[in-house]
């Protein structure tokens, strides 16, 4: 019996030596997701100002605003899933006079200033908007912005007309493009 037990133990030891022993391996992975807010923005395609007498522009000094009767107003409606967002007004074809934008395409004789309904001016500045990407395009040049802390909002924005610098304009229709972008925070 001792012999059979010894043979049995030797077989167990030999079989254990022939087995491949694997080391345990583990790794950690992180699951990452970004939750983004979505926003909608509604505003008119065109903001029409009243007819402006050319003589009135000619008599104004550079940087001077005309009376309110030559101003326009538009409503900006926003709706965001996040509670805080920023609205950008980008004027890529304009330059600056007194924190206001000039007309586009060489019509710098006209100057437009924006003001919110709470009587806060929207001062434009020249800078690169590297933090703002919209449709894979980095905006730059002239812009103004303001932030809101409500999910839904209606803001009236007035457009005040003034006398810019540059070459005098002739009587006619003039337009200045202004891109309005909403970005959730």
Residues 66-114 pLDDT 10s: 999 999 999 989 888 877 888 888 887 788 888 888 887 777 888 899 9
Domains of the chain: 39-184 (2.60.40.1090)
**pTM of this structure:** 0.71
Write out the chain's pLDDT in tens, 185 residues: 545 444 444 444 444 555 565 678 888 989 998 877 788 889 999 999 999 999 998 999 988 999 999 999 999 898 888 778 888 888 877 888 888 888 877 778 888 999 988 888 888 887 755 544 444 344 446 778 888 777 778 888 999 999 988 788 888 888 888 888 888 87
Which parts of the chain are beta strand (E)? Answer: 39-42, 72-80, 85-91, 96-97, 100-102, 110-116, 125-126, 129-134, 137-139, 142-148, 152-163, 179-184
């Amino acid at each position: 019996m001792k012999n059979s037990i010894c043979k049995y133990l030797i077989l167990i030891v030999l079989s254990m030596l022939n087995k491949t022993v694997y080391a345990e391996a583990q790794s950690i992975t992180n699951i990452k997701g970004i939750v983004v807010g979505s926003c909608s923005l509604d505003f008119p395609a065109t903001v029409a100002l009243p007819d402006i007498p050319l003589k009135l522009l000619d008599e104004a000094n550079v940087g001077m605003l005309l009376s309110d009767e030559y101003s326009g107003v538009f409503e900006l409606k926003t709706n965001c899933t996040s509670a805080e967002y920023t609205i950008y007004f980008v004027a890529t074809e304009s330059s600056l006079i007194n924190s206001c934008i000039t007309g586009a395409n060489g019509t710098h004789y006209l100057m437009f200033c924006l003001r919110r309904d709470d009587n806060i001016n929207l001062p434009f500045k020249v800078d690169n908007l590297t933090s703002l990407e919209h449709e894979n395009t980095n905006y730059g040049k002239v812009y103004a912005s303001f932030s809101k802390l409500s999910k839904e909002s209606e803001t009236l924005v007035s457009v005040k007309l003034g006398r810019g610098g540059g070459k005098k304009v002739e009587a006619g229709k003039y337009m200045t493009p202004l891109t309005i972008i909403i970005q959730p925070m």
